[in-house]
Structures are given as C-alpha cells and as structure tokens.
Amino acid sequence: MAAPDRLRRLLDEIAAEARETAGRTGRAAFAPRVMQAIARARREAFVPPAEAEWAYVDRPLPIGHGQTISQPFIVALMTDLAAPQPGEKVLEIGTGSGWQAAVLAALGARVFSVEVIPELSARAAAALAAEGFDGVRLKVGDGWQGWPEEAPFDAILVTAAAPELPQALLDQLGPGGRMVIPLGGPQEQQMLTLFEKAADGSISRRDVLPVAFVPFVRPSRPA
Ligand code: SAH
C-alpha cells in the first residue's frame, strides 16, 4: 500500500478509536487541526529505518535505548486534550523520537522538549530539522524539573509514566494551562490524567484513559 493510503487508513483508525473511547475520554472526535498535524508530521521520518514499514500502524515502536515512539492514537488524544493554539508555549517531557514535538510544532505551537537520553535528543534534533520543524527547542536533562527558564507554559505533555505528579511541572503551568500526564508507578495501572489550571490558579483533575507508557527515569542525584 502506498504511503498516502497507509496514512489515510491510520487516520481512520484513530478516528474510530476516538469514537470507541469517547465514553471515557469525553472526545468522540479529535479537532480536525489535530488530525491534520498528525498527518503533516510524517511519522516515518521519526522512526528508525528498520521500523519505517510500520510507521503508519497504530502501535508504539522501538526507537532504541529501551524507549518507544508513542502510539499514534495516544499522541492524537494527548494533543487534543492539551489543545495547543498557534503561538502558545508548550513543554514536552520525553522528546524520544521527536514525533510528538513535531505534531505540536505543526499546530503552530512554540515547542520546548526535554529528553534525558542524549543520543535520542540528538537523533530527534536531526529528524526535526530534516522535516522543517527546526523551531523546536530541545534540552538534555531530567524533565522532572521542567524548564524553569522558559516557564510559564500554556500546555505541558509528559510522555513517560510518573509515579506521582511532578510539582515543578504543575508550578510551570500558566493560568488557563493544560497538562496531560500518565500517572502510575512501575507495577500499577497507569492513568492518563488531565490537569487544568484556572485563571485564579486553582487546579482541576480528570482521569482520562488507562494507558501503558515507558516509566519516567529519575537520574540519580549526588547524595
Ligand atoms: N514523545 C516521544 C515518546 C518517547 S517515550 C515520542 O514522540 O517519540 C518517553 C521518553 O521519555 C523516552 O525517550 C525517555 O528517555 C524519556 N524520559 C524518561 N525519563 C525522563 C526524564 N526524567 N526526563 C526527560 N525525559 C525522560
């Protein structure tokens, strides 16, 4: 099947899964602009060459270093929940392949993404540049601390499962901001969770969908 046909089939699958999970997510259909961004950020350019033939299958794929590129449906869901508007500042924790960052950039957001594995960050930087998303800012380091110099953010997406809500990230969310994060420890069922910060700073929380992300790594700090 030619790439455009595979892409169309993937978009159909994402739309079908959105309908099937609407009772839990509250989203029967994702915004058309989110679906367009999924299409524009060519996933095949962000997976290792050996995985390219699976790029348009709705599954996570290995990207080396024990990490994965997220499942397209989950990327669409998280992006729709975070609802980044053009010009908004968006923080991603866990650059991985760079594909989620590219989807956010395709929506016109100003994207800042932190990755703890230097080799993955370097590969993501190359793929983002090759695909014309060179405005994305990348940093190597522990995402638990967020990116305080660039805060506040209008939206924050965490793409690795955290045992608890990182307080620094909540602090770096601006008024009106949305944060999407899988919460759950290594042996627990993870829950994709949406936090919203109102204009007065109060926080609301909603459980969205059970998910399976790679765990958040906590680099060991000097004692
Ligand atoms: N958003 C990615 C998904 C990557 S999987 C994509 O679109 O491909 C999660 C990523 O989080 C992995 O690359 C992992 O190395 C990274 N990660 C795990 N713990 C981290 C931490 N403490 N800080 C930053 N990144 C982290």
Pocket test of ligand 1: the residue of 79, 92, 95 to mutate, having most ligand atoms within 8 Å of its CB, is 95
pLDDT grade, residue 2 (50/70/90)? confident
The pLDDT value given to residue 50? 95
pLDDT grade, residue 135 (50/70/90)? very high
Q: Within a domain: residue 221?
A: no
- What's phi and psi for 189, nearest 5 deg? -70, 130
Could you report the per-residue pLDDT of 106-116, keeping only the tens digit for each?
999 999 999 99
Instruction: Tell me the catalytic residues.
Output: 70
Angle at 87 between CA 82 and CA 88, to 5 degrees: 35
Q: Within a domain: residue 132?
A: yes
Query: What's the CA gap between 147 and 191, in Å, rounded?
Result: 24
Q: Within a domain: residue 217?
A: no
Could you report the per-residue pLDDT of 166-199, keeping only the tens digit for each?
999 999 999 999 999 999 998 899 999 999 999 9
The pLDDT value given to residue 4? 84
CATH number at residue 48: 3.40.50.150
| Total count of domains within the chain | 1
Q: Within a domain: residue 170?
A: yes
Tokens representing 31? 């915004």
pLDDT tops 70 at residue 223: no
Q: Within a domain: residue 223?
A: no
Parent domain of 84? 3-211
Q: Which among 124, 154, 11 has a CA at the least distance from the CA of 75?
A: 11
The pLDDT value given to residue 221? 63
- For ligand 1, atom 4, name the residue with the nearest CA: 96
Query: What's the CA gap between 158 and 135, in Å, rounded?
Result: 20
Q: Within a domain: residue 220?
A: no
Pocket test of ligand 1: the residue of 73, 93, 112, 120 to mutate, having most ligand atoms within 8 Å of its CB, is 93
- Interval 127-152 mean pLDDT: 97
Could you report the per-residue pLDDT of 140-173, keeping only the tens digit for each?
999 999 999 999 999 999 999 999 999 999 999 9
pLDDT tops 60 at residue 222: no
Q: Within a domain: residue 9?
A: yes
Q: Within a domain: residue 177?
A: yes
Query: What's the CA gap between 194 and 178, in Å, rounded?
Result: 7
